[in-house]
């Protein structure tokens, strides 16, 4: 996470927007992209630690 490039940050934002725009985002996401789901899990974990 310390070495996050612009491209990876853009994909993170796209993944978050994708999930937020779907109520059952995680079910759709598992079919759509496992790596992106892992990205979201990492981001959510980061938010939990920040709180």
**pLDDT, tens only, 1-51:** 455 555 677 777 777 777 777 655 555 555 555 566 677 777 788 888 876
Residue 27 maps to a domain: yes
The predicted model scores a pTM of 0.32
Identify the CA nearest to 19 among candidates 6, 2, 31, 4: 31
Confirm whether 28 is domain-assigned. Answer: yes
- Number of domains present in the structure of the chain: 1
Closest to 13 (Cα-Cα) out of 49, 40, 50, 38: 40
- CA 4/CA 19 separation, integer angstroms: 21
Range(s) of the domain holding residue 26: 6-50
Decide if 45 is inside a domain: yes
1 falls within a domain: no
Between 25-32 and 6-20, two packed helices, what is the crossing angle to 10 degrees? 130
């Amino acid at each position: 996470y310390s070495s996050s490039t612009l491209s990876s940050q853009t994909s993170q934002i796209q993944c978050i927007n994708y999930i937020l725009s779907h109520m059952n985002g995680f079910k759709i996401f598992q079919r759509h992209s496992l790596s992106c789901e892992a990205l979201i899990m990492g981001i959510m974990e980061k938010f939990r630690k920040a709180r």
